Amino acid sequence: MQRMPRPSQYLYPQRELVTPRPAATVLLLRDAPSPDGKNQFEVLMTRRSAKASFVPGAYVFPGGSIDAEDAQAHALADRRATQDDAQLTQAIAAIRESYEELGVLLARHADGRMAGEADLAALDRHAPFFAQCQARGLRLAADGVYTLARWITDRDMPKRFDVAFLVARMPPGQTPVADEAEQFEPVWVRPADALARHEAGQFFMIFPTIRTLQRLARFDSVDAVLRACASEQPLWTSCPRGGMLAGKPAHYMEDEMPYGELALVCPDGQLHHTLDWQSEQPVPLLKNLQRLTAPNPGVMTGPGTNSYLVGDPATGYIALDPGPADHAHLERLWRAAGGDIRMIVCTHSHPDHSPGAAPLAALVAQYGRPKPPVLGLPSAPTALAAWAFTPDRALQDNELLTLEGQGPEGKITHTLQVIHTPGHAANHLCLLLREDALLFSGDHILNGSTTIVNPPDGNMTDYLESLDKLDALCAQHGVEFILPAHGHVLGFARQAIAHLKAHRLAREAKVLAAMQAHPDGSLEDWVRIAYDDVPEQLWPMAQRSLLAHVERIQAMQPGND
């Protein structure tokens, strides 16, 4: 069960999405050893007509819409046993398009010989393709066409396609010739070179082409690409989302940090949301949700600590994590809430989260409103003295904090459920906005990094168990979005939690291996091995989480009940 925020809380009227048309494109590849002897490869690209209705002037791979006749040509094609009917249709469409656009013929004779120049000379690119192949006894070499990826055109586009990105080896003895109508200037280019030329402004490409080439550049040969595609499953599937960054449209795939935030704010894909980090203005995420980022960026805080305001003018507001005692930041929070802050909640007592709570409460009272209570859990005896925190009232696990008011359409309610999640800190809390299925994760789950678990106040076993608790909560309430104290909103909530837990356990396996290889080693010795993929300047901080893993490993040893 997946739940989205209440439609009444979206910032913008939602549009009906255009249904994507099925399409296929093929990346024709050939090996091209470089001067230094490395076995690299090239991909065939072509420039679209400047008058084309879709991405005019862009360099692309040959392809186009899947036609009804493509699905009717199965009998003319050779296929792999593992290739399903949909994949076969896509391969046939890509073969047809590569011939029509570039004169490349992925076909073979009955004796297995690939089609060559003589076959191409005998065919008419303006006549029906399949009938000509059948007349010459040519079989379409669909068994040599593999699925690489699936791209679905951005939701905001007036013309959309659901495109199978396929790969195939360029047949020998053929030279691509553009049709000079839809396609021009066929060019063989190494993926890295195409990307460099695009960056230099000499080779215009659209987002899916760029991202495909970036991933393709990780391979060193055509064989390596084809082996990676042998599973018959796309290596990735993406329907990108766009926002505004530095005043220009910017697009992101599902695994990139801004994607979840764009999905929350503009689910229909409109380019309304600005992604630039700043501390001067509140960022509306929903009608009942604003984020203000404190001006405390750094290695530990990323772009800064996110403070959130939950509520609206009819209900008043709950302020989450007011951050450091920065007067300008607290005043911006107060102004964004119209001065009507009913409660202040701190997810935990760390100095970038809780010191602003008491000054914010005093600011509210200074201007004639009732002084809001500061809520949370008191810091535990294990916390550092600098992290001392005593709320006006201690919250209970699963307690509900409710805002109610009367709006133009009736009663409005916003309910935050408190979830005790020790691990990063003993007094750490997360909160669930129940009506909109949004999880505020504090420092327990971050976007773009993993949180430090710093003993004795931090505990790795508690941290992992709290992840399980949050996963169960997300499953129960259909939570799709996580709002962290640092970084953009995360989408795919349960996948994010599963990925984070797997990462922690994989790191723990490296810690255990380091301990076993060097049983008399120090924490400094072990961190060099277990965190060899982390920049050395971060090892002192990583050493704190390593200690948490060591304590957990030692506690699980026989006899340590």
- How confident is the model over 216-260, as pLDDT tens digits? 999 999 999 999 999 999 999 999 999 999 999 999 999 999 999
Residue 173 has pLDDT above 80, yes or no: yes
Rounded to an integer, the average pLDDT of 535-550 is 93
- pLDDT for 4 equals 86
pLDDT over 70 percentage in the chain = 98
Through-space distance between the first and last CA atoms of the chain, rounded to whole angstroms: 39
How many other C-beta atoms are found inside a 10 Å radius of the C-beta of residue 234?
Answer: 16
CB 504 within 8 A of CB 423: no
Q: Six-digit token pair at 12? A: 């913008």
- pLDDT for 561 equals 56
CB 388 within 8 A of CB 469: no
Task: Give the orientation angle of helix 460-477 with respect to helix 493-517, to 10 degrees.
Answer: 160
Tabulate helix, strand, coil % of the chain (nearest 5): 30, 25, 45
- The residue with greater pLDDT, 377 or 368, is 377
Backbone angles phi, psi at 184, to 5 degrees: -140, 160
Measure the CA–CA gap between 217 and 107, rounded to whole angstroms. 27
Backbone angles phi, psi at 225, to 5 degrees: -65, -45
Backbone angles phi, psi at 194, to 5 degrees: -60, -40
Asked if the peptide bond before residue 295 counts as cis, ω within 30 degrees of 0, the response is no
Residue 94 has pLDDT above 60, yes or no: yes
The amino acid at 372: P
Three-class secondary structure of residue 199 per DSSP: helix
Query: Per residue in 274-306, pLDDT tens?
Result: 999 999 999 999 999 999 999 999 988 999 999
Maximum separation of any 2 CA atoms in the chain, in Å: 91
Backbone angles phi, psi at 454, to 5 degrees: -110, 100
Helix ranges (H only) for 301-432 are: 327-336, 357-366
- pLDDT for 408 equals 83
Measure the CA–CA gap between 474 and 440, rounded to whole angstroms. 12
What pLDDT band is residue 182 in, cutting at 50, 70 and 90? Answer: confident
CB 413 within 8 A of CB 12: no
- pLDDT for 185 equals 87
Query: Per residue in 460-481, pLDDT tens?
Result: 999 999 999 999 999 999 999 9
- pLDDT for 560 equals 63
* Residue indicated by tokens 């299925």: 437
CB 318 within 8 A of CB 310: yes
Residue 559 has pLDDT above 70, yes or no: no
Task: Give the orientation angle of helix 357-366 with respect to helix 327-336, to 10 degrees.
Answer: 50
* Residue indicated by tokens 């009736």: 410
What pLDDT band is residue 12 in, cutting at 50, 70 and 90? Answer: very high
CA geometry: angle at 155 spanning 153 and 160, to 5°? 40
Measure the CA–CA gap between 134 and 111, rounded to whole angstroms. 15
- pLDDT for 84 equals 96
Domain ranges of the chain: 21-234, 240-276, 278-494, 505-555
Query: Per residue in 25-62, pLDDT tens?
Result: 999 999 987 776 666 899 999 998 877 767 788 999 99
Rounded to an integer, the average pLDDT of 192-204 is 94
Backbone angles phi, psi at 35, to 5 degrees: -55, -25
113: left (phi over 0), alpha (psi -120 to 50) or beta: beta
Q: Name the class of domain 278-494.
A: alpha beta
Task: Please list the residues that pair with 439 across neighbouring strands.
Answer: 432, 482
CB 179 within 8 A of CB 266: no
**Residue 489 burial (CB < 10 Å; 0-12/13-18/19+)?**
buried
What pLDDT band is residue 409 in, cutting at 50, 70 and 90? Answer: confident
- pLDDT for 52 equals 73
What pLDDT band is residue 1 in, cutting at 50, 70 and 90? Answer: low
Residue 210 has pLDDT above 60, yes or no: yes
Rounded to an integer, the average pLDDT of 543-557 is 93
- pLDDT for 352 equals 95
**21-234 maps to which CATH number?**
3.90.79.10
pTM of the model: 0.92
Helix (H) or strand (E) holding 463: helix 460-477
CB 378 within 8 A of CB 361: no
The closest alpha carbon to 175, from 91, 102, 95, 101, belongs to: 102
What pLDDT band is residue 179 in, cutting at 50, 70 and 90? Answer: confident
Backbone angles phi, psi at 263, to 5 degrees: -65, -35
The alpha carbon dihedral of 25, 30, 34, 40 has a sign of: positive
- pLDDT for 15 equals 92
Q: Six-digit token pair at 111? A: 């004796």
- Label the pairing between strands 59-60 and 438-442: unpaired
* Residue indicated by tokens 């993993």: 450
Q: What is the dihedral of CA 507, 508, 511, 517, to 10 degrees?
A: -110
Measure the CA–CA gap between 118 and 76, rounded to whole angstroms. 20
DSSP-derived secondary structure letter, 418: E
Measure the CA–CA gap between 223 and 227, rounded to whole angstroms. 6
What pLDDT band is residue 448 in, cutting at 50, 70 and 90? Answer: confident
**CA 516 vs CA 522, 525, 531, 539, 553: distances in Å:** 12, 12, 15, 20, 11
The closest alpha carbon to 466, from 416, 423, 418, 503, belongs to: 423
